[in-house]
Structure 1
Amino acid sequence: GLGMYAFGAFLFFPAMLSGSYYPFLIAYFILTCGLSFLETSSNPYILSMGTEETATRRLNLAQSFNPMGSLLGMYVAMNFIQNRLSPMDTIERSQLSAADFEAVRDSDLGVLIAPYLIIGIVILVMLILIRMVKMPKNADQSHDINFFPTLKRIFSISYYREGVIAQFFYVGAQIMCWTFVIQYGTRLFMSQGMGEKAAEVLSQQYNIVAMIIFCASRFICTFILRYLSPGLLLKVLAIAACGFTIGVIFIQDIGGIYCLVGVSACMSLMFPTIYGIALQGLGDDAKFGAAGLIMAILGGSVLPPLQASIIDMQTLFGMPAVNVSFVLPFICFVVIIIYGHRSYVRERRR
């Protein structure tokens, strides 16, 4: 995973030299494949390094550092990429001579790849460090996977099967809430007389605040898991997320975007907790089961286009379509409430 991640990042340099789109796409594909390898292997590794009773709490703690990376990524994108790119728009670029256009393009690409090359170096150092340092052994030393028997076995387990479904809807809700905060905020602030560009910038600032709250809430929820079972806390936060989402739909002033920011606090616990609950007791099958849960990230590709199609209607039921569109995240959180409740009932029976 680390090797593919670093290799993909370094491929941005030859992609820049080519000046073409598809080499960048290939580099990005290899990089993201490395990331999927990392998440598929690291999460069950963390779950196996200790008692099963605290496995979900360990995973929540480890994933508390993920939003820090997201915030750092936003900061780098805004201050070391976007602010250094040429301010010319598409029309202005089309009016340049071929030589001038290539000069602007090459300058922009030079700005773009620098962070990726730095990331590649950092990841390569991590790879060498992990190869040199003796890592803790976990209990599972089996490397054999019988594809179809394992697939049949894990999907016969109701809480794993339902966990994959819940993860699909959670990732869809997360991407929808974080993507369309821009459209939601822009419509709101423009209705108050603000210009479109200023409204977009202000909406992005609310998105950053949501990410900061998400990060802080991860640590808080990890602490609360010492006292509440994962299923119960998942259910409570999903109910709260439904409440905030109702506010997003029906409140058409600044309170609506406050509710949208509040949803992030509720989402913080969900991914690692669903992951941990679904893999409980799977033993050697946890490695294979982890791949199914990572594949559930597909929800982030399927559901947002549906919300976008609703937003494109402009108005619906006499309300702004962007407000009505948040009924989709609401449905996602209802699915998670059901999974949290069923998990809590199962936890009480133990």
Structure 2
Amino acid sequence: MSSNQDGLFKKEGVGILVPFAMITLCFAMWGFANDVTSPMVKSFGLIFQMSTFESSFVQVAFYLGYFCMALPAALFIRRFSFKAGVVMGLALYALGVLAFVPARSTGTFMAFLPAYFVMTCGLSFLETSCNPYVYAMGSESTGTRRLNFAQAFNPVGALMGAMVALTYVSGSLDPSDGATRRQLLMADPLRFDAIKAHDLDILVQPYLYTGLVILAVLAAVVLTRMPSTDGTCDRKGVVSVFVQLLRTKNYREGVVAQFFYVGAQTVCWTYLMHYGHHVFYDLEGLGEAEAQQLTTHYYLVALALFAVGRFVCTWLLTRVEAGRLLAVLALAAIGCLVGVILIEGRVGLWCLVAVSGCMSLMFPTIYGMALTGVRHHLEFAGAGLVMSILGGSVVPLLQAAMMDSHTVIMGLTSVHYSFAVPLVCFAVVARYGLMRRHRQPKA
């Protein structure tokens, strides 16, 4: 085994590959949760006949769980261990997805929001545990590379989640379009309720099966011996730790950059479906089903590009300084979004797909850069970075409100100019990459 491999998968001469693989599996599992959920926003809007703004509360509940549980997760990890945090995260994740069954029985949209919240409380535990745990498994000098490698499997899970949501769920829903459903709601409520019940049965199934898989992974993690990370935290009070972290400029700005990045990622993926519908249904005049199918193909290409980009960027980090690569890709994302805003039709849609390739590096690299120099406060530093995922709740509401305005500014429809929101977010990320002089050691 080469020295590079030793640096990534050994600690003090002891191999960590098996526990690393188990934790990396968790990265794929929360990637699945994220991307089985994003396309569901449009499905919920169709099933319950809601506006884009109303259905975006799926994302509010989803990312609010991240924010609320991150600090309790850090306290739990400090009291017990990173492994205990992973176990608790998987347990809450399973509880949340299995709660979709009783939520479906109510037949109301609001009943699903607590299930999403509990699910993402589990995901918050997982992210607060797994990200710093992977970073701390080996030397700090290889921490960002190791985290990027583990995070490379996150979009693999994301791609699987999107395929389930967009091929199985969307493909199995009743083919009635929004206009037909609105007419049925007024003229034949019983028929509308029958369609809604059928669609909710389809929507719940992936979450039920996911819960069973999570329980199996939970058992495997409990039985796997995990490496110790003693010495990665001290016992200062919570307030004094956060004060010290906030005084660290690199960390403070990393939290801000992560907030805006997660917001940008959420809207670029969630509203790709809306943008594609606008292109194929409104501009090209295709039928609802055909427009949905074509948009699904573009969405899956975007996620595949994101997945491939993670592995490519992990390799690039052995040759290019992390902050510089982050800034270049953020500026490239801004350029793509200019195309999304200004160019009509499929070219604009391809520009939005290309943004996913630019995003592939960002989350783990911002995370790793922000953790540099805070090794003794990893659990709380990780919690702050997970709390910044709240950007996924705030930014979609802003863009959804702009899209629902249905206005035209300088010849641009609201579907187009609303993508100025993620453009501003990527500008914040680019600034962080340019300002930080973080050096990733060469291979």
Cα contact 1:67–1:214 (8 A) shared by 2: yes
Q: Is 1:28 equivalent to 2:119 in the alignment?
A: no
User: Residue in 2 aligned with 1:252?
Assistant: 344
Instruction: Please give the TM-score of this superposition, normalised by the length of structure 1.
Output: 0.89
Q: Is 1:342 equivalent to 2:435 in the alignment?
A: yes
User: Residue in 2 aligned with 1:178?
Assistant: 269
Aligned length: 346
Shift of 1:112: 3.5
Deviations 1:5-28 (A, max 9, x none): 112223333444555555543333
SS of alignment partner, residue 163 of structure 1: helix
Cα contact 2:232–2:378 (8 A) shared by 1: no
Deviations 1:177-205 (A, max 9, x none): 22222333333334653235133432332
User: Residue in 2 aligned with 1:332?
Assistant: 425
Deviations 1:74-127 (A, max 9, x none): 2222344333344453543676686x8777665544434332222112111111
Corresponding residue to 1:273 among 354, 360, 365: 365
User: Residue in 1 aligned with 2:412?
Assistant: 319
Deviations 1:231-275 (A, max 9, x none): 111011112112212222222343222221111111110011001
Cα contact 1:186–1:196 (8 A) shared by 2: no
Find the aligned partners of 2:172 and 2:342 in 1 and give their Cα distance. 39
User: Residue in 2 aligned with 1:84?
Assistant: 172
Cα contact 2:231–2:376 (8 A) shared by 1: yes
Instruction: Please give the TM-score of this superposition, normalised by the length of structure 2.
Output: 0.71
Deviations 1:128-164 (A, max 9, x none): 1111121122244658462210110100000110001
1:331 partner letter = V
User: Residue in 2 aligned with 1:68?
Assistant: 156
Q: Is 1:42 equivalent to 2:135 in the alignment?
A: no
1:50 partner letter = G
Give the direction of change, closer, same or farther, for the CA distance of 1:182–1:82 in structure 2 (3 Å limit).
closer
2:324 partner letter = L
Shift of 1:317: 1.7
RMSD (Å) for aligned C-alpha atoms:
2.6
Cα contact 1:249–1:326 (8 A) shared by 2: yes
Deviations 1:274-304 (A, max 9, x none): 0110011212211101111111112122222
Q: Is 1:307 equivalent to 2:407 in the alignment?
A: no
Q: Report 1:1-350 matches (<5 A).
A: 1-17=89-105, 19=107, 23-87=111-175, 89=181, 91-92=183-184, 107-140=198-231, 142=233, 144=235, 146-190=237-281, 192-195=283-286, 197=288, 198-311=290-403, 312-344=405-437, 346-347=438-439
Find the aligned partners of 1:87 and 1:252 in 2 and give their Cα distance. 27
Cα contact 2:232–2:375 (8 A) shared by 1: no
Shift of 1:339: 0.5
Among the aligned pairs, what percent are the same residue? Answer: 44
Find the aligned partners of 2:195 and 2:432 in 1 and give their Cα distance. 52
Shift of 1:229: 1.6
SS of alignment partner, residue 138 of structure 1: coil
Shift of 1:347: 3.5
Give the direction of change, closer, same or farther, for the CA distance of 1:201–1:102 in structure 2 (3 Å limit).
closer
Find the aligned partners of 1:209 and 1:127 in 2 and give their Cα distance. 31
Find the aligned partners of 1:6 and 1:208 in 2 and give their Cα distance. 26
More deviation in 34-43 or 60-69?
60-69
